[in-house]
Amino acid sequence: MSSPGAQAATVPSPRTRRAFGTRLPRRGFRLARHRSRLLGKFAIGTDLRSDRSARSARSARVGSKLRPGPFSGQIDSSEAHFERRGDALLVATRCWWRRRAGYGLRNTERPGGDMKNPRVTGLALFTALGAAFLGVAACGAEDAADDEMMDPAEVADPAAAGLPNPTPNVIKDWARLPDGREWGSTAGIDIDPIDGHIWAYDRCGGIALAGGCAENLVDPVFKFHRETGEVMASFGAGLFVLPHGIHVDDDGNVWITDSMGTLDKGHTVVKFSPEGEVLMTLGVPGRVGTEPGYFNQPCDVITASDGSIFVSDGHSGQNANPPAGSTGRIIKFSPEGEYIMEWGVVGDGPGEFRTPHALELDSQGRLFVADRGNHRVQIFDQEGNLLDTHYQYGRVSGLFIDDEDNVYAIDSESNPNQHADWLTGVRIGHASEDLVTAFIPPHESDDPQGEAGEGVAVDADGNVYAAEGPNSRAAAEGGVTKYTRNN
C-alpha cells in the first residue's frame, strides 16, 4: 500500500438554488417563485395578487392542520408548478428553509384536493373543478415517525409523468455464469472502454449483504461478451468478502471495492489488469479506520482523466441510527495511490452524505456522487467544491454517464418506508440540468413501487444493463438484465 500524503481540508461551497427540475407539458402553467415569512411553525403562500397581510390571514386559516417538520424555520422562498391531468390538478411546490448548514429542501406532488394524507410538505392543494383553484401552496411537514429519517430532498417523482422508455425490450438473466453456477446478488457493472464488452461481478452466490465470497472461493469478477452474454474472462477468487463497486479505467484495468471485511480481507479497493493481475491495493485488508490509508465500507471507485482516484466511503450512513464511526466521505488519491485529500461527513447538509453509493464523472470532469440516503446526486469539482445538486433521480444506487453526458441513475431502494410514492427503475437525464427525460420501469413485483437493480451501464448502441442486487435478484431471474431499443 502506498504511504498516505498530507490531508488537505476542503469546505464545500453552498448549493446554488435553482429552478425546480421537472419540466411540465405545454398545457401546464407555472406560479413564479415568491417569498414569504414563517407564520407560527409553517408558512403558506397564496394568491400573489394579495398583500402579505392578507396572505398571512388566509394561510393561518387554511393551513392549521399542518405540523412542523424537521426543517421548520424561516422560509426564505418557495415556488410552485402546476399541471392539469384529466379532472385533477397536480401541483408541486419547492420551499427553502434557513438552517444551520445552508438550505433544507423538500418537495412533493399530489392530486388536487386529496386531503387524506396529512404529510403535505411542499404540497399545493387545489380543486380539480374547471380552471378555478381554491387552495394554497404550503411549506411544512407532518412529524416523521420516530424510526424514519426525513430526507432533505423529497421531490415529485418524474416517473409518474408518463416519460418515454427508450429501451422497452427486456432480456432477463442475460449474462450466464459458467458451469451451471447460479447468480447471487451484485451491485456493479461497467463497460470496457477499449472493446465495449461488459464487466460485472457476482457475490459468489451470496444473496443478502453477507460475505458470500468469504466462504465460497470462486471467481467473482467476470467479463461478458456484449452480444452473447458469454463469459470471456474471470478472476478474483479468494480476494474479496463483498464486492460492491466496479470501474473500468481508460486502459482497461478493472477496479473493485470490497465493502465488508473479515480478519484479513475486505475494506479495500483493488486494481486489476485486464488479465486479473493485482496491480494496486488501497486500504488495509480486514482493517477499518477513518485516518488516511484506511476505509470503512468503501462503496465505489472511479479514476479521472489524469489518473486521480476517487473512492466513496461509508455504506452504513443511510441507516436511521448510523453505527458509531460511520463515514460519509469522498477520498482522493494520486494515480500512484498516494492519499491527497478527502471531504464529507455523515449528514444531510451540502457536501454531506448518507451513503455515497456510486460515483461517475462527466465530460467536464465533474464528480457525480449518488448520495443515496439523502435521495439526491451531489456534483463536485475534483477538489471537493460542491457545484450543484440534483434531486430528480430518486434514491440512487448506481450511476452511468455516457460520452454525450446523458445520465442514467438506477433507483433500487425507494419504498414506503424510505422515499415513498417513488418508483424504482432507471431515470435518464442530462448532466447539465436537474431534469429527467426518460424512464426505464422496474420489474413487476408484489411491491407497488417495483424492484430494480443497483448498478447500471450503457453500451455504445444505447443498450442498458442493470446489475441486480439483493432486492431485485428474484424478480430479475438472474444477475444482469439487458434492456434494448426497438429495431
- For the stretch 457-486, pLDDT in tens is 999 999 999 999 998 989 999 999 999 999
Return the SS3 of 473: helix
Residue 427 burial class via C-beta count within 10 angstroms: exposed 0-12, middle 13-18, buried 19 and up: buried
Cα–Cα separations (whole angstroms), residue 107 to 156, 191, 404, 456, 461: 6, 35, 29, 26, 35
Task: Indicate the pLDDT class of residue 319, thresholds 50, 70 and 90.
Answer: confident
> Domains in the chain and their CATH numbers?
29-154 (no CATH), 169-484 (2.120.10.30)
Q: What is the pLDDT of residue 417?
A: 85
Averaged pLDDT score across all residues of the chain: 76
pLDDT > 60? residue 281? yes
pLDDT of residue 116: 29
Note the pLDDT of residue 265: 95
What band does 160 get if pLDDT is binned at 50, 70 and 90? low
Higher pLDDT, 386 or 84: 386
Residue 158: its pLDDT value, please? 66
Is residue 291 scored above 80 in pLDDT?
yes
Per-residue pLDDT tens digits for 38-89:
223 323 333 333 333 333 333 332 232 222 333 333 334 444 444 444 444 4
Amino acid identity of residue 297, one-letter, is: Q
Average pLDDT over residues 367-390: 98
pLDDT score of 170? 98
pLDDT at res. 420? 85
Parallel, antiparallel or unpaired: strands 329-333 and 339-343: antiparallel
Taking a C-beta distance cutoff of 8 angstroms, is the pair 85, 100 a contact? Answer: no
- C-alpha cell read off for 231: 463469459
- pTM for the whole structure: 0.72
Q: Which of 138-142, 145-149, 263-267, 321-325 has the highest mean pLDDT?
A: 263-267
Given a cut of 50, is residue 440 above it in pLDDT? yes
What are the φ and ψ backbone dihedral angles of 158, each rounded to 5 degrees?
Answer: -65, -20
Q: Which pLDDT band holds residue 155 (cuts at 50, 70, 90)?
A: low
Instruction: Give the three-state DSSP class for 62.
Output: helix
> Could you give the maximum distance between any two Cα atoms of the chain, in Å?
75
| Cβ neighbours of residue 343 closer than 8 Å, sequence gap 6 or more | 10, 12, 329, 330, 351, 380, 384
Q: List the Cα angle 388/394/400 in 5-degree steps.
A: 70
Say which residue, 27 or 293, is predicted with more confidence: 293
What is the per-residue pLDDT across 347-376, written as a single tens digit (0 to 9) for each? 999 999 999 999 999 999 999 999 999 999
Banded model confidence at residue 207, pLDDT cuts 50, 70, 90:
confident
Q: How far apart are CA 303 and CA 175, in angstroms?
A: 26
- pLDDT tens-digit profile of 213-260? 999 999 999 999 999 999 999 999 999 999 999 999 999 999 999 999
Which residues are 248's β-sheet partners?
254
Cβ within 8 Å of residue 149, ≥6 positions away: 320, 354, 373, 418
Pick the residue with more confidence: 308 or 100? 308
Selected residue with higher pLDDT from 203 and 134: 203
Structure confidence at residue 159 (pLDDT): 62
The total of other beta-carbon atoms located within 10 Å of residue 386's CB is: 23
